[in-house]
Amino acid sequence: MTPGKLSTYLKNGAIWGFILLELIFFTVAGQFLSLSENAFMDAGNMLLLFKQSAPIGIIAMGMTIVMVNGNIDLSVGATYALSAVVLLDAMTWPVFGGLGDWVIPVACLLAVLTGTVLGAINGLIVWKTGVDAFIVTLGAMLGYRGLVFMYNGEQPTSHLNWTLVDFAEAQFLGLHTATWVLLLVTAAIWFLMNKTVHGRNAHAIGDNREAAVNAGIRVGPHMMINFMIIGALAALSAVVFYAETGSVNPNDGELYELWVITAVVLGGTKLSGGAGSIISTFGGVLAIQLLRKGLAHIGADTSTVNLVIGLILIAVLLLDRQLNVKGKEALKI
């Protein structure tokens, strides 16, 4: 086994090793520190872990594609909130008055459509102007959030539909609805990235944009499609979450972009593009939720949780850089 292979193996496996470490740590620490009588690894608790990972996780899948492309999307939190507003408000529109509970799928579709359109706007601007995605989506983050506030002022937008709540709370084969959506999205994006031309192109563009252009890949439209995918997924995430709560604050979803990016980076995706794995992103999402849940389990407060996640993110980036340096050295030999 060459050092290069070993470091690759370590990089890909690191997130799962980290998750295992978290599980062991919180199980042991929970024995001494937790006020709960249930074990941390209790089956019900683990099922909740998946469910609570869903809102960030669904968006993280889209973020992985965009980041593999060498772009970033900071507007996902605002897209999430605006789609949620459309979802909940659409259910009260008189146009759909005669639909009864059939308004639910219509409202869900409208919400996802909203997210897709917002993503398309980002993608189109990045494509046609060539401005860095960071700047474009930073503007979109502020702009879309502004739209959320314009929609209903400072008030929350609310519509509690118990049919929808019951659907969201349902458990099929033990897994919650939100978990199923997360798993299906993960499977779909994994397929897209690993088994299709689009996925191969995404890696090629992120690796070397010029070479990709020379190879005849239509980079602009490709990126726009990816921004539409992440927009749709941010909206889908909102559908999954707000189906169960029925009320959106105008400032909901703030900082989601940062949690999502943290999860993706923890999963090993490069900020510079070209490399990233859907399965590892899934691991990154679980690792963050596990950390939040575990620290709460042993009685840490919210600020400590944020501090620890921040420290771990920096540690992971340092580790990542070390491993990459080693990999390059190995190539020279």
Positions touching another protein (CB under 8 A) are 3, 6-7, 10, 14, 17-18, 21, 25, 29, 32-38, 42, 44-45, 48, 51-52, 55, 149, 153-156, 158, 160, 165, 168-169, 241, 244-252, 292-293, 295-304, 306-308, 311-312, 315, 319, 322-323, 326
User: Which of 187, 318 has the CB closer to another protein?
Assistant: 318
Q: Which is nearer to another protein, 163 or 194 (CB)?
A: 163
* Closest distance to another protein from the beta carbon of 328 (Å): 14
C-alpha 253/C-alpha 82 separation (Å) is 9
Which burial class, exposed, middle or buried, applies to 23 when counting CB atoms under 10 A from its CB (0-12, 13-18, 19+)? middle
- Distance between CA atoms of 254 and 81, rounded to whole angstroms? 8
User: Measured between alpha carbons, how far is residue 82 from residues 35, 44, 134, 283 in Å?
Assistant: 39, 32, 20, 28
Q: How far is the CB of 46 from another protein (least distance, A)?
A: 10
Cβ proximity to another protein: between 38 and 196 the closer is 38
Cβ proximity to another protein, 1 vs 95, nearer residue: 1
Minimum CB–partner distance for residue 25 and another protein (Å): 6
- H-assigned helices in the chain: 3-33, 43-68, 76-90, 103-129, 133-152, 162-169, 177-195, 197-207, 209-214, 219-245, 256-266, 278-297, 302-332
Q: Which is nearer to another protein, 207 or 244 (CB)?
A: 244
If the CB atoms of residues 35 and 173 are measured against another protein, the closer one turns out to be: 35
Shorter beta-carbon distance to another protein: residue 157 or 277? 157
Q: How far apart are CA 159 and CA 147, in angstroms?
A: 19
Least Å distance, CB 249 to another protein, is 4
Q: Residue 318 Cβ, how far from another protein at the closest point, in Å?
A: 9
Q: Which two tokens stand for residue 102?
A: 């059939």
* Minimum CB–partner distance for residue 68 and another protein (Å): 25
Q: Smallest distance, Å, CB 210 to another protein? A: 33
Contact, 71 vs 223, CB < 8 A?
yes
Place of tokens 């019900």: 44
Rounded to whole angstroms, the Cα distance separating 281 from 277 reads 6
Residue 275 near residue 199 (C-beta atoms within 8 A): no
